[in-house]
A and B are shown apart, each in its own frame.
Chain A
Amino acid sequence: MTNTNAQYCPVCSYALKKTDTECGRCGEVLQKITEPVETLRQAPADAQSLTGYSIEAIGKVADVEVAGSPDIHFANGQPVKEGSTKRARDDDQRSMRMLQRELRDLNERIARMDAEKRMTSMLDGNAFRQEQAAEGAVVTEEVKRYSKSDRYFSSLVKRHVTAMKEAGRGATEGSLNAETLYHHFIDGSIVKPGVFDRSITLFVGPPGSLKSTMAAVTIAGMAKASGGRALYLTLDDRKSKFELRTRELNLQKESEIIAVADKRDIRRGSNDIQSNWRASLMEYVRRQLSRGKFRFIVLDNLNALSTLLSTDRERRATFALFNWIRDLGLTAVAVMEGEYSKVLRSKRPEIYLADGIVQFHRIDRGNGESVPMFRVLKMRGAEIDCRYYSLQLNSGSLKFVPAVAM
């Protein structure tokens, strides 16, 4: 279904409502948008485009003000005067060209899928060579069958194996000589002896389950104990919200230990306004590390960093991000919004790549009251108590009580 009320942020390409004046993802201030003008002509209720999109309305405007992506014009402007048949014809032609383009793209995709199916059905155990089109991995109709003795196939294999052996030098060498450094985490009886240095722990749960609060307390505790500093990156909320939270927890005294930045700070700190979110974040963190002794980091939350990549590429991107954090010598807590069961079903790569997972939840007591709870599901290198614990905020400190004792 074509969305006629959308615009796209010119910086991060995030889809926004037409009436939005600020990008909800990167904070970019957009041009002032006026209300869309009522269209003059409505397509019949059962009209269908050639591509299967339903045509709800075709708007006609005279003067166009464009916000967002230049490729998509959802325009504001003055309504076309009735009787302007030439303008109506031009607009019809423009719409028709757009529909033809969509149809051509769809046909190309269908042709590619057909070609892949044909090749799959020809498979009899021999290797096939995939023709590479100029623009990338586009499968052509002609497929040659190659046996393992084929020189092209062999040379490809040899090239990859050589590159792997080069890159993998040291893959089997060395062992862990130094003592493992652990950081006290949450509570010594729940995670014994703690999380190891340069680990990444995921806090997963629905909104309002105190993940961010717990992340702030945990990271402050680790930083204080180790003599280092913590960087708290709040990617969804404003810094002011975090400051309110720290006041409730009496963490404002720890302001020297925790440095907070929100997305505006990150964006402002980036030299390249067109770079994507991940690149801006990495640049910002590198800069902060060069200025202070940061040893701990909170990413709140990872959902803001999720890409539009396919699942497999997302895993690769997440693997690269986590490795980058570890290589910087940081011990991290990464917050993730969503019920853990849903995250697990969707096979988010973060849950497989993280060293630890703490699940947050709110349990309904039935009298209108819900109680925040957490439990540790995974922690590499540590002995864990997997029971549910309730979170209680008392006199500015967080207390954990086993759920069975409530």
Chain B
Amino acid sequence: MNVAEAGRIRTHVDGFDTVLGGGIPAGSVVLISGSPGTMKSSFAFNIIQRNAKSEGTSSVYISLEQSKESIIRQMRSMKLAPEDNPEVHVLDMANVREEIEAATMDDTVVTVLKEYLTDYLKEWGCSLLVLDSLDVLDLRSGVSSKRSHVFSLFEWLREMGLTSLLISESNPQEALENGYEEGYLADGIIELTLSADEGDTVRRRIRCVKMRNTQHQTSFYSLQFTEGRFVVTQSIG
């Protein structure tokens, strides 16, 4: 198992690594939050694909709902095809959701996940992980509090030496203010938005809400995806 080196993991989003002081601190647990259609999955996949290409970083994309076929198809259309790079692994856990639910009822879900994933992570030597999405894991059931489960999961990810990107469907306000524990327990939150106003244009935006050990701006930036690359620019308005 590769232990994440001290340093930062680049997002390979033109302009955004500067905002983050060079990238995401290695070994962090970061929430990628946003509503449907804000390109959370694509953004996360872009990070692992580009790191695999440029630094040879071994990574895994864990999908709890979308099938592997659908993910590959989606990423291929964005010129991020995982099959181009053997260091990128896609783990399709959609078929085991029923068992995850049963484990939730037994209050063993976090331990079960750890045991299930450990073998894969060791085999592949991963240091970068994406979990899509955190909300599919129903950590509210059982006798233990949600905070305990989230804490346990996050601590394990750090102990494994992973830099983890957890896709979250809650917005940062929900994650931080309404008692959703993951916002407080995560090391960072990156928010993606899609303006749903009545104007003639829909704008994609990105901001770093929180990132430990990093001096960063919290303002929104305009996010675009062209020719297979994400680019951020100063947001107008």
Contacts and interface: CB of A to CB of B under 8 A. Distances in A.
Contacts of B107: 127-130
Interface in A353-406: 353-355, 357, 359, 361, 363, 375, 377-378, 380-383, 386-388, 402-404
A357 B194 CA distance: 13
Interface stretch (A44-52, A172-180, A271-279): A172-180
Contact count band on A: 35 or more
Contacts of A253: none
Given A127-B111, A157-B108, A167 B99 contact: yes
A383 B42 CA distance: 13
B97 A319 contact: yes
A116 interface: yes
Interface residues of B, number: 58
Contact of B37 (A123, A316, A323, A378): A378
A352 B115 contact: no
B66 to A, nearest CB: 8
Contact of B101 (A172, A316, A359): A316
A164 interface: yes
B214 interface: no
A225 interface: no
A44 B77 CA distance: 69
Interface in B91-111: 91-103, 105-108, 111
B102 A160 contact: yes
A174 B202 CA distance: 37
B202 A168 contact: no
Nearest to A174: B68
Interface stretch (B21-29, B142-150, B176-184): B142-150
Interface in A255-275: none
B169 A387 contact: no
A156 B140 CA distance: 19
A288 interface: no
Interface of B: 35-37, 65, 68-70, 72-74, 76-77, 82-83, 89-103, 105-108, 111-112, 115-116, 120, 133, 135-136, 138, 140-145, 148, 152, 169, 194, 196, 198-202
Interface of A: 116, 119-120, 123, 125, 127-130, 137, 139, 143, 148, 153, 156-157, 160-161, 163-165, 167-168, 171-172, 174-176, 180, 196, 312, 315-316, 319, 323, 340-341, 344, 347, 351-355, 357, 359, 361, 363, 375, 377-378, 380-383, 386-388, 402-404
Question: Which 10 pairs from chain A and chain B are nearest by CB?
Answer: A378-B37, A386-B202, A404-B200, A381-B77, A377-B37, A164-B96, A128-B143, A160-B112, A160-B103, A380-B74
